Amino acid sequence: MNPWTDLLFLALIVVFVVDTSGWTDTWLGWLSRWLGHPVLSLKPFSCSLCMTWWSGIVYLIATGRFCLPLLAYVALLAFLSLPISEVLIFIRETILRWIRQAMK
């Protein structure tokens, strides 16, 4: 695939894991218990915008494709992390609605 598509898929994966999978709450809960006090956020790991940005940069460097247009695309994907999360939730809820209607 091309880097534009790879970066889009990377953003989808990051946003899914950080925002909708429950993984962030799980590991922050574990960290809170281990440290003995509440840890509510640990950026960049608990922020989909931050993780999209940094994982995109790591991808560009690791693949030798670091250039200004792709960096700008990574910035756009990071900026759109909240709308991406909402689209993923919308897709899930729409499918659930269709299943519930089919079950009636």
pLDDT (tens digit, 9 = 90+) per residue, 37-83?
Answer: 888 777 888 899 999 999 999 999 999 999 999 999 999 999 999 99
Q: At what angle do helices 48-62 and 68-79 cross, to 10 degrees?
A: 160
| pLDDT tens digit sequence for 74-84 | 999 999 999 99
Q: For 42, left (φ over 0), alpha (ψ -120 to 50), or beta?
A: beta
For 23-94, strand residue ranges (E) read none
The predicted model gives 32-40 an average pLDDT of 85
Whole-structure pTM value: 0.85
CA distance 29 to 8: 29
CB atoms within 10 A of CB 6: 16
* pLDDT the model gives residue 36: 86
| pLDDT tens digit sequence for 8-25 | 999 999 999 999 988 887
Runs of H (alpha helix) within the chain = 3-15, 23-35, 48-62, 68-79, 81-103
